Amino acid sequence: MRYRTLGRTGIEVSTYCLGTMMFGSVGNPDHEDSARIIHAAMDAGVNFIDTADMYSAGESEVIVGKALRASGRRDEVVLATKVHFQMGEGRNRSGNSRRWITQAVEASLRRLDTEWIDLYQVHRPDHTTDIEETLGVLGDLVQAGKIRAFGSSTFPAEEIAEAQHVAERRGLQRFRTEQPPYSILARGVEAAVLPTAQRYGMGVLTWSPLASGFLSGRYRAGQAVDLTTGRARLNPARFDPSIPENITKLAAADRLAELAADIGCTLPELAVAFPLAHPAVTSVIIGPRTAEQWEALLKGARVVLDDSALDRIDEIVPPGINLYRPDGVWQPPALTDTTLRRRPTDERAAS
């Protein structure tokens, strides 16, 4: 396994990061089986594990904590988790406020059964909270020894830049990493997010290299899709083969499968190798549900995409283009709140 420095933190991490979103009730409810995958990844040289408090309502963190405790190798692992989404019922149990982050980090430490978190990430922006408030509490958590570094996840480029500017202006610690969605089918971050991360010396760990399964080889054009199981059950519209957006994704996946065969690898191996070719990317999050999925993706660790292969990928999906909206659980208020993009009716006329 190759290792790269995570931005300017000085922390060395494996170029594969084990993602654990599928560990727990949403994916694999077998704790022992999930722990075996974690141990197998560590044995293969993976020292970077990513989870979040909201994955299976905290169950993923519990699984990771138990697995690390059983391994006796906690000190070898760079452990990352996230905060932002609603946890349980009631008010003030989500977002990026000092009040909530202070509570949430303690809950994550308990579930993970650890004294510190190596990388604590803000899962999404929160436009109800001043970014200065968020950076302030995260810096305090570093000073308290509860986290070692902190970063953002799925932030637009302009909000990454704003956070860096506020940190400098106010003398606060800053986001050291960004975790964006990035795959051959979702290349939008190439336009601004990745260059912005490079500009500020941020480490980048990317998620969903298999494009929610469309690059796993499981879904093919002209084939029926069972919308009652797996990820399709959670979001049927994303997988319904009759929807034009999905038809476009399936057509691209078929062409990419041909490219993979031509260069002697599988489609998933091609998909996972692609983000690692970008100079901004530190590590790619691999999120298996089963041991078989992990083993299949691990075989692609040595796949190198030469310029001719990358040129062919550019022909299928041009740089900076998203064939679908990769973040299906959050949109900026500027798009969802009509009052933010529509003047009052009596002010819309030019004269």
Q: Report the interhelical angle of 98-112 vs 131-143 (nearest 10°).
A: 40
Name the one residue in this structure whose structure tokens are 């722990």.
35
The whole-model pTM stands at 0.94
Give the Cα separation of 314 and 50 in Å (integer): 29
Q: Does 345 map to a domain?
A: no
CA distances from residue 236 to 156, 221, 246 in whole angstroms, order as listed: 26, 16, 11
Does pLDDT of 283 surpass 90? yes
What percent of the chain lies above the pLDDT cut of 70? 99
pLDDT of residue 230: 67
The DSSP output letter for 80 is: E
Q: Which domain holds residue 67?
A: 3-340
Kindly name the residue from 3, 16, 55, 120 that is annotated as catalytic.
55
Residue range 85-103: mean pLDDT, rounded? 97
Nearest to 81 by CA among 50, 43, 55, 104: 50
Give the Cα separation of 262 and 253 in Å (integer): 14
Q: Does 350 map to a domain?
A: no
Does pLDDT of 329 surpass 90? no
Give the Cα separation of 201 and 176 in Å (integer): 8
- The separation between the first and the last C-alpha atoms of the chain, rounded to the nearest angstrom, is 65
**Higher model confidence: residue 227 or residue 341?**
341
Residue range 237-250: mean pLDDT, rounded? 88
The dihedral sign for the CA sequence 158, 327, 237, 266:
positive
For strands 12-14 and 3-5, give the pairing.
antiparallel
Nearest to 51 by CA among 215, 224, 205: 205
Give the Cα separation of 349 and 351 in Å (integer): 5
Q: Residues near 279 by Cβ (< 8 Å), separated by ≥ 6?
A: 198
The encoded tokens of residue 281 equal 């990317």
Q: Does 349 map to a domain?
A: no
CATH of the domain at 32: 3.20.20.100
Q: How confident is the model at residue 310 (pLDDT cuts 50, 70, 90)?
A: very high
- Over residues 2-22, the pLDDT tens digits come to 999 999 999 999 999 999 999
What's the domain count of the chain?
1
For this structure, is 324 an active site residue? Answer: no
What percent of the chain lies above the pLDDT cut of 90? 88
Give the Cα separation of 67 and 60 in Å (integer): 11
- Mean pLDDT, the chain, rounded, equals 95
3 state SS of 23? strand
pLDDT of residue 227: 73
Nearest to 124 by CA among 186, 207, 5, 56: 207
Does pLDDT of 327 surpass 90? no
pLDDT of residue 331: 82
**Paired strand residues for 283:** 205
Q: Does 160 map to a domain?
A: yes
Q: Does 348 map to a domain?
A: no
Q: Does 164 map to a domain?
A: yes
Give the Cα separation of 53 and 88 in Å (integer): 11
Residue 105 near residue 114 (C-beta atoms within 8 A) = no
Nearest to 258 by CA among 285, 229, 224, 221: 221
**Higher model confidence: residue 39 or residue 222?**
39
- Over residues 112-163, the pLDDT tens digits come to 999 999 999 999 999 999 999 999 999 999 999 999 999 999 999 999 999 9
pLDDT of residue 300: 86
pLDDT of residue 242: 85
Beta-carbon-side half-sphere exposure of residue 309 (alpha carbons within 13 Å): 21
pLDDT of residue 344: 93
CA torsion, ordered 193, 195, 197, 201, to nearest 10 deg: 180
Helices (H), the chain: 31-43, 59-71, 98-112, 131-143, 157-170, 193-199, 230-234, 236-239, 244-263, 267-276, 291-298, 307-316, 333-336
Residue range 252-281: mean pLDDT, rounded? 97
Give the Cα separation of 341 and 333 in Å (integer): 10
Q: Does 263 map to a domain?
A: yes
Give the Cα separation of 35 and 113 in Å (integer): 14
Q: Does 346 map to a domain?
A: no
The dihedral sign for the CA sequence 17, 28, 247, 245:
negative
The DSSP output letter for 207 is: B
